[in-house]
């Protein structure tokens, strides 16, 4: 199985039209995947490529349409590029050395300034004054920092887990001329990307802090009509793999065999269950055994779990006419479908007795205007990176809307939240 999307760092190329993004993208992936031409706006929709960026590891590289695209359709492309930028762990900002213009780029809201960035000054032939361009980039970064500071003053609670792209030694700038030095340019760019990626805080393991090597974990996996044929789903596979990596003795049962397994297996340290059967599992598992769910493990790895727990407790404050956004991060005929569209709405209506409205979003379509919602319930986000998830949590924070996720909401709605470990 290839590395899941949620475990790959997102590297997003951006820049003005015709700055050479697609040439850099093709150079990085060592293929001609993105169309390259000498006229403006060649790349319309984002182009994705999964690769191992050695010696760092698995990444997703995204080529985007020009950030300065124009017209009605151009604006739609820019909107798509912005979504990619929002999801990025690392930006690669491609600049045409012959046409550097820092004034017309995406500065207005400052929302992208916290991302680590490698600046690639492309088409950089011998007569280019590199020092001049370097000082222009530095002043551009200063301007960014000011916008960022102003934003943070306005949003005092906003936290961002990303480190600054411009380190104390100065911004990471690579001067390239693909005409005269393709392989040398590739080497320099990859070294810069690896440098910054390696300096980012590593993601916390799914089960870190909940269990120790040599402990026993029991996983509860319902195999019903919703379960995919012949395989386990990604969150289950990842938890099993982490247990094995850590030297945890891991066993698996269906919910139907749980009672017997608990009787026969002796001491168990941690039970991890699918959220769908939380209530049934909680009623069988003795209070002396730690209990959690796959969805809660992802919530603590990828998001701010305390904030998500506070979000779930907001359910008791809902009133008639309130609107909830249910956000699933991939569009699929999924085994989660009934959790988001049917089970959680029904449980909330039953628990609160209120007349609540629900909206649904899928994939990257996390609504732009969150202010009309009283609560956001995000799926487990197994396809999302931690930074994708934190963007969503921070956007909810900035809009003043509580946010929780499926697993935490289900634990709250079934009365199990006070006994789960996270």
| Residue numbers at the binding site for ligand SF4 (CB under 6 A) | 328-330, 334, 336, 379-383
Question: Cα–Cα–Cα angle for 354, 358, 361, nearest 5°?
Answer: 160
27 vs 221 by CB, closer to ligand SF4: 221
**CA–CA separation, 32 vs 10, rounded Å?**
20
233 is written with which tokens?
């789903």
41 vs 205 by CB, closer to ligand SF4: 205
Q: Which residues make Cβ contacts (< 8 Å) with residue 142, sequence separation at least 6?
A: none
100 vs 358 by CB, closer to ligand SF4: 358
**CA–CA separation, 223 vs 373, rounded Å?**
34
42 vs 341 by CB, closer to ligand SF4: 341
111 vs 405 by CB, closer to ligand SF4: 405
| Residue 383 beta carbon to ligand SF4: minimum distance, rounded to whole angstroms | 4
Residue 169: burial class (beta carbons within 10 Å; 0-12, 13-18, 19+)? exposed
Residue 104: strand, helix, or coil: coil
Q: How many CB atoms lie within 10 A of CB 126?
A: 6
| Residue 382 beta carbon to ligand SF4: minimum distance, rounded to whole angstroms | 4
| Residue 364 beta carbon to ligand SF4: minimum distance, rounded to whole angstroms | 11
Pairing of strands 403-405, 216-220: unpaired
Alpha carbons within 13 angstroms on the beta-carbon side of residue 363 total 7
61 vs 382 by CB, closer to ligand SF4: 382
| Residue 332 beta carbon to ligand SF4: minimum distance, rounded to whole angstroms | 6
Within the chain, what is the greatest distance between any pair of CA atoms? 78
**CA–CA separation, 353 vs 318, rounded Å?**
10
Q: Which residues make Cβ contacts (< 8 Å) with residue 61, sequence separation at least 6?
A: 11, 13, 25, 28, 29, 48, 49, 50, 51
347 vs 379 by CB, closer to ligand SF4: 379
Contact 145, 195 (CB under 8 A): no
| Residue 413 beta carbon to ligand SF4: minimum distance, rounded to whole angstroms | 17
145 vs 367 by CB, closer to ligand SF4: 367
| Residue 275 beta carbon to ligand SF4: minimum distance, rounded to whole angstroms | 10
| Residue 222 beta carbon to ligand SF4: minimum distance, rounded to whole angstroms | 15
Q: Nearest residue to ligand SF4, using CB?
A: 379
Q: What is the DSSP letter of 343?
A: I
Q: Please provide residue 175's backbone torsions phi and psi, each rounded to the nearest 5 degrees.
A: -95, 125
**CA–CA separation, 102 vs 350, rounded Å?**
54
Residue whose C-alpha is closest to residue 249's, from 262, 268, 233: 268
87 vs 96 by CB, closer to ligand SF4: 87
| Residue 295 beta carbon to ligand SF4: minimum distance, rounded to whole angstroms | 7
The number of residues in the chain equals 422
**CA–CA separation, 44 vs 64, rounded Å?**
7
| Residue 330 beta carbon to ligand SF4: minimum distance, rounded to whole angstroms | 4
């Amino acid at each position: 199985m290839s590395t899941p999307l949620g475990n790959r760092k997102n590297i997003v190329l951006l820049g003005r039209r015709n700055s050479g993004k697609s040439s850099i993208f093709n150079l990085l992936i060592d293929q001609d995947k993105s169309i390259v031409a000498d006229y403006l706006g060649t790349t319309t929709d984002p182009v994705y490529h999964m690769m191992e960026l050695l010696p760092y590891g698995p990444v997703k590289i995204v080529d985007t349409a020009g950030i300065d695209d124009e017209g009605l359709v151009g604006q739609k492309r820019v909107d798509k590029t912005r979504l990619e930028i929002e999801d990025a762990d690392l930006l690669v900002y491609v600049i045409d050395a012959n046409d550097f213009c820092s004034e017309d780029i995406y500065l207005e809201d400052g929302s992208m300034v916290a991302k680590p960035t490698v600046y690639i000054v492309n088409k950089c032939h011998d007569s280019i004054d590199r020092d001049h361009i370097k000082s222009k980039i530095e002043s551009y970064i200063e301007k960014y920092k000011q916008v960022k500071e102003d934003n943070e003053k306005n949003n005092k609670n906003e936290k961002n887990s990303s480190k600054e792209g411009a380190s104390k030694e100065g911004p990471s700038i690579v001067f390239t001329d693909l005409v005269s030095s393709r392989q040398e340019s590739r080497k320099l760019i990859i070294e810069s990307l690896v440098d910054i990626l390696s300096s980012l805080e590593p993601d916390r393991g799914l089960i870190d802090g909940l269990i120790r090597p040599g402990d026993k974990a029991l996983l509860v996996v319902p195999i019903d009509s919703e379960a995919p044929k012949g395989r386990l789903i990604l969150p289950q596979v990842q938890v099993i793999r982490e247990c094995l990596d850590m030297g945890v003795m891991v066993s698996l049962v269906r919910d139907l065999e749980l009672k017997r397994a608990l009787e026969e297996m002796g001491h168990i340290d941690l039970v991890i269950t699918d959220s769908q059967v939380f209530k049934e599992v909680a009623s069988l598992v003795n209070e002396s055994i730690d209990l959690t769910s796959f969805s809660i493990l992802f919530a603590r790895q990828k998001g701010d779990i305390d904030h998500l727990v506070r979000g779930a407790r907001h359910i008791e404050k809902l009133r008639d006419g309130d609107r909830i956004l249910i956000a699933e991060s991939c569009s699929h005929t999924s085994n989660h479908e009934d959790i988001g569209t049917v089970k959680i709405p029904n449980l909330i209506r039953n628990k609160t007795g209120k007349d609540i409205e629900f909206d649904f979003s899928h994939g990257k379509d996390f609504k732009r205007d969150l202010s009309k919602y009283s609560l956001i319930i995000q799926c487990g986000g197994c396809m999302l990176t931690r930074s994708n998830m934190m963007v969503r949590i921070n956007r909810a924070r900035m809009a003043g809307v509580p946010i929780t996720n499926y697993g935490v909401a289900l634990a709250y709605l079934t009365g199990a939240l006070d006994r789960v470990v996270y």
